Structure 1
Amino acid sequence: MEYLSLFVKSIFVDNMIFAYFLGMCSYLAVSKNVKTANGLGLAVIFVLVCTLPLNYLLNKYILTPGENCIFGPDVDLSFLSFIIFIAVIAAFTQLVEMIVEKFLPSLYSSLGIFLPLIAVNCAILGGSLFMQQKDFVNVGESAVYALGSGLGWYIAIVALAAIREKLTYSKVPAPLRGIGITFITVGLMGIAFMAFMGISL
């Protein structure tokens, strides 16, 4: 039950986009059509699910001082957290980039620079930093949180891409066309997601 609660909360209540505004640059840039949004969303889920549990293990057994630290209870390497987390994220991002380039070249070309930029996507690093802050008791909780956070980001970008595709056929006033109506749409989606904050989990 705790895992289900954490999973649902990470998707809707603590949504990376609408609760913390993390990963907004790629969210706005790649959400012009559903196909590319779907590809980037799946890539973000993969990187989050792979990196967050690994960063949890590194944080618990190497970086944080205490009885679990393999270097002894007095060794504090927590100042290396940012560097280690980013290195792990960059390694998995490189792996995703190579896989997509090999097997999905059309998606690779449509994502452009935003695929390698997953390495500096604030939502990915934010997941690892929130993992530290939430102090999960085991690697299972971190994996569930990673999957939920990734799905929340995926739902947000695919939903916006679907709306933006429909908006191309709508009569939007000239001053609001393009990024203007997109900002308004994102704001309304954020307000809609705020309704989930009232859920008691």
Structure 2
Amino acid sequence: MTDIFFRAILQENLALTFFLGICTFLAVSKRVDTALGLGVAMIAVQTVTVPVNHLIFQGLLVEGAWAWAGLPEVDLTYLKLISFIGVIAAIVQVLEMALDRFAPVLHRSLGIFLPLITVNCAILGGSLFMVERRLTLPESVAYGLGSGIGWALAIVTFAAIREKLRYADVPKGLRGLGLAFVVTGLMSMGFSALIGVGAG
């Protein structure tokens, strides 16, 4: 499980290896405090949704899950996408209400991007990778937590770099999104150099 956890943070980072959730990654990374808030939200959502989706998939959707009801041949795996999205939407809604109640400043700063976590492909990708890799429930918890931390680490690091680059003398053609893409590519290469860290 430790190997799965560290691999999800570093060598299989959802943002910098698979480039999932890159639209939110680029849009909310202009300030460290906002990026940190979204990163914490991603960790919370990913840590909850991956194991919950594991339980739903194994308990209700796979072939044989309904054997207890005398329906062993029922296979509902084709419903995994819609059920995963439903779980993610519910978790994000609860998180949004909690932030609105207990952290209104952060809730306002995240703006529209908080509800957009519902359709963030990094969140959905975590659950789909969990199914593809046939992880057990404890492994799903480790993977959900690790992938959330990895995405949060990437966006906070990226936001810190972008804040420093405001004071840099950047060529006119690279200012804005162009430089953001260059930095993302360099960060991706840096993270790929960490392959094997935490393994064993």
Q: TM-score, normalization: structure 2? A: 0.94
Residue matched to 2:79: 80
Residues 137-188 of structure 1, C-alpha deviations (whole Å, 9 max, x = no match): x311100000000000000000000000101111111221111111110010
Amino-acid identity (%): 50
Asked whether the equivalents of residues 58 and 65 of structure 2 are also in contact (C-alpha less than 8 Å), the reply is no
Distance 1:179 1:70, change over 3 A: farther
Residue matched to 2:156: 158
Q: Tell me, which stretches of 5 or more residues in structure 2 are unaligned? A: none
Asked whether the equivalents of residues 52 and 128 of structure 1 are also in contact (C-alpha less than 8 Å), the reply is yes
Displacement of 1:198 in angstroms is 5.3
Residue matched to 1:31: 29
Amino acid at match of 2:109: S
Residue aligned with 2:37, SS: helix
Asked whether the equivalents of residues 9 and 150 of structure 2 are also in contact (C-alpha less than 8 Å), the reply is yes
Residue matched to 2:171: 173
d(CA) in 1 for partners of 2:90, 2:47: 14
Asked whether the equivalents of residues 66 and 74 of structure 2 are also in contact (C-alpha less than 8 Å), the reply is no
Displacement of 1:69 in angstroms is 5.6
Q: Tell me, which stretches of 5 or more residues in structure 1 are unaligned? A: none
RMSD over aligned CA atoms reads 1.4
Displacement of 1:66 in angstroms is 2.7
d(CA) in 2 for partners of 1:70, 1:25: 43
Number of matched residues?
198
Residue matched to 1:92: 91
d(CA) in 2 for partners of 1:174, 1:64: 54
d(CA) in 2 for partners of 1:37, 1:117: 14
- Of 55, 58, 61 in structure 2, the residue corresponding to residue 57 of structure 1 is 55
d(CA) in 2 for partners of 1:68, 1:12: 38
Residue matched to 2:190: 192
Asked whether the equivalents of residues 41 and 150 of structure 1 are also in contact (C-alpha less than 8 Å), the reply is yes
Displacement of 1:197 in angstroms is 3.1
Displacement of 1:108 in angstroms is 1.4
Residues 90-112 of structure 1, C-alpha deviations (whole Å, 9 max, x = no match): 00000111111112122111111
Residue matched to 2:104: 105
d(CA) in 2 for partners of 1:9, 1:69: 35
Displacement of 1:68 in angstroms is 7.5
Bigger mean CA offset, 51-60 vs 191-200 = 191-200
d(CA) in 2 for partners of 1:74, 1:121: 33
Work out whether 1:131 is the aligned partner of 2:145.
no
Amino acid at match of 2:26: L
d(CA) in 2 for partners of 1:67, 1:42: 34
Displacement of 1:67 in angstroms is 6.0
d(CA) in 1 for partners of 2:66, 2:195: 35
- Of 140, 145, 148 in structure 1, the residue corresponding to residue 146 of structure 2 is 148
d(CA) in 1 for partners of 2:24, 2:172: 24
Residue aligned with 2:72, SS: coil
Bigger mean CA offset, 172-181 vs 75-84 = 172-181
d(CA) in 2 for partners of 1:70, 1:54: 21
Residue matched to 2:119: 120
